[in-house]
Amino acid sequence: MNHKSHIVKPANIIAYFDFDGTLTKCDTLLPFIIHTVSIKKLLLKLPVILWIVCRYLLKIINNEEAKILFLTSTIKNMPRDYLEQKAQEFALNKLDKYLKPQIYEKLQHHIKENHTIAIVSANLAVYLKYWAKKHNVNYVIGTNIQFINNIATGGLDGHNCYGMEKVIRIKEFLKTQNLHFTDSYAYGNSRGDFEMLDFAHHSYFIYKNTSHPWNQYKAKK
């Protein structure tokens, strides 16, 4: 499910932004989980979390499997209303401190140019949608938490929005919303963004606080 956070603007250009590591200085999932679960409870789960990280680093499990195991160990059985409340608090009060001003300026430039903006992230849409609304971003395409009877299962509703899944979800979003653009931009910083960067007309690889044309960066790889 894609989350519409703002009225769509009449533009022929869309800009896709990865979130963690692109717009932010770090991954924001752990800070969100700390905000939601509390650091004390999270420390009690540290042995399980380290086991998950080790299995991921050893390539025994992929990023989607690691995320499911992590969410299962931290937010499973939480009510949807509680998670929504914590997500809104985190997005509105804490998330901005992780932003990279230099890259955030690029997002603001696209907004000023009346371009449609979509956050396309492997992170959780449950809190990114609130951040997007606050910052006048039109859409969020993210990883969704699975709920059954409004209780988090620890699983995902669909796949982790990473790698080729980002392009699949973008195409699905354009078709579902009946949107057509003559031009597109994309910004990403990691392996999970490569396919999205190939998909857009004008793409930029973000390294720390600077952006580099994707074609030039890819040629050096």
pLDDT tens for residues 103-151?
999 999 999 999 999 999 999 999 999 999 999 999 999 999 999 999 9
What is the pLDDT of the chain when averaged over all its residues?
Answer: 94
CB 181 within 8 A of CB 14: yes
What are the tens digits of pLDDT across the range 20-43? 999 999 999 999 999 999 888 899
Q: How do strand 116-124 and strand 13-17 relate by DSSP bridges? A: parallel
CB 147 within 8 A of CB 108: no
Q: Closest Cα partner for 16 from 210, 198, 144, 216?
A: 198
What is the predicted pLDDT for the residue at 7?
A: 46
| pTM of the complete model | 0.92
DSSP code at position 58: T
pLDDT band at 93 (very low <50, low <70, confident <90, very high): very high
Q: Hunting for tokens 């938490």 — which residue is that?
A: 145
Residue 69 has pLDDT above 50, yes or no: yes
CB 142 within 8 A of CB 83: no
Give Cα 105 to chain centroid, integer Å: 18
DSSP code at position 22: T
Q: What domains can you pick out in the chain, each with its CATH number?
A: 3-220 (3.40.50.1000)
Q: Which residues face 3 on adjacent strands?
A: 140
Handedness of CA 32, 53, 99, 22 (dihedral sign): negative
Instruction: Give me the mean pLDDT over the 181-196 stretch.
Output: 97
Residue 157 has pLDDT above 50, yes or no: yes
CB 152 within 8 A of CB 80: yes
Residue 100 has pLDDT above 60, yes or no: yes
Could you give the 3-state DSSP secondary structure of residue 92? Answer: helix
Structure tokens at 209: 């606080």
Tell me how far apart the alpha carbons of residues 152 and 145 are, in angstroms, rounded to a whole number: 7
Instruction: Give me the mean pLDDT over the 68-82 stretch.
Output: 97
What is the predicted pLDDT for the residue at 214?
A: 97
Structure tokens at 206: 């973000």
CB 186 within 8 A of CB 16: yes
Cite the beta strand spans of 90-182 per DSSP E: 116-124, 139-143, 145-148, 151-156
